[in-house]
Amino acid sequence: MRLLHTMLRVGDMDRAIQFYTEVLGMRLLRRKDYSEGKFTLAFVGYQEENAGAVIELTYNWGVDHYDLGTGFGHIALEVDNAASACDAIRARGGKVVREAGPMKHGSTIIAFVEDPDGYRIELIEHKS
């Protein structure tokens, strides 16, 4: 078995794709409209789907927002330097909600950013 993807419901597909590709630097791997079901799927990631896990963005036509609830936590991305990643994300229009620094009760350097739908993305600095 292997992890294939994580699915997020989004309120605006173009806005979500722009964030994940232009702000976080992922690539749009595929996108398809399902007119009979009135939804669109797009898959974004840093590598091809057969090489690693990706994010499935799901837009249900006519639904522009979702209540996030308390069950979902975050997506985590490894970065070389969390502070530099925050600066780059902010420069590309992204929202940093926790600046880079050591995690509570530990020494790992982390930061958090938020996508346009309110989903949190943790940036974890690579330990040499």
Q: What's the pLDDT score for residue 124?
A: 97
3-state helix vs strand vs coil in the chain, percent to 5: 15, 40, 45
* Segment-wise mean pLDDT, segments of 10 residues, the chain, 128 residues: 94 98 98 98 97 97 92 94 98 98 94 97 93
Which residue ranges make up the annotated binding site for Zn(2+)?
56, 74, 122
Would residue 122 show up in a list of annotated catalytic residues for this protein? yes
Q: State the catalytic residue, choosing from 48, 49, 122, 125.
A: 122
CA dihedral 34, 38, 47, 4 (to 10 degrees): -90
User: In whole angstroms, how far apart are CA 69 and each of 58, 118, 123?
Assistant: 17, 11, 22
Residue from 124, 7, 120, 116 nearest 60 by CA: 7
Buried b or exposed e, range 65-99, using 16+ CB within 10 angstroms: eeeeeeeeeebebebeebeebbeebeeeebebebe
Q: What's the pLDDT score for residue 1?
A: 82
Total-model pTM: 0.90
Phi, psi at 101, each rounded to 5°: 175, 175
Q: Which domains does the chain have, with CATH numbers?
A: 5-60 (3.10.180.10), 75-125 (3.10.180.10)
Which residue ranges make up the annotated binding site?
56, 74, 122
Strands of 120-125's sheet in order across? 75-79, 120-125, 109-114, 95-102
Q: What's the pLDDT score for residue 96?
A: 98
